[in-house]
Amino acid sequence: MNEIKIDINHIAKLARLKMDEEQAEKFARQMTDIIGMVDSLPAIEGTATGLDPANPMTLRPDVVVVSETTREEILSNAPQVEAGCVVVPRIVE
């Protein structure tokens, strides 16, 4: 079994997480252990299409029901609000 090398910094960047080297190393070790469980499993036949037509989804009729939740309630948890909007650091586009 080939040892999988996890590029922990790349994964952290994708996940928008920051960590120091010590923690990164610890995570890499622990993650390698867990995926090692998968790598050590015998090959199983089959494919996962992600489709299960035997259990179809009920779709919603196209009807408007205006939410009872007000804008103030929607924004009430936001750390920074101005002019009815959530504020984020300025983005240069």
Size of interface with another protein, in residues (CB under 8 A) = 65
Among 1, 21, 22, 67, binds another protein (CB under 8 A): 67
- Spatial contact of 12 and 18, defined as CB atoms under 8 Å apart: yes
Min separation Cβ 21 and another protein, Å: 14
Min separation Cβ 15 and another protein, Å: 4
78 Cβ contact partners less than 8 Å away, ≥ 6 residues apart: 86, 87
| The one-letter amino acid at 62 | D
Torsion, Cα of 8, 12, 18, 22 (10° steps) = -20
Token pair recorded at residue 73: 């309630």
Min separation Cβ 25 and another protein, Å: 12
Q: Does residue 86 bind another protein (CB under 8 A)?
A: yes
φ, ψ of residue 21 in degrees (nearest 5):
-65, -40
Contacting residues toward another protein, per CB under 8 A? 4, 6, 8, 10-12, 14-19, 23, 27, 30-31, 33-35, 37-38, 41, 44, 46-53, 55-67, 69, 71, 73-80, 82-91, 93
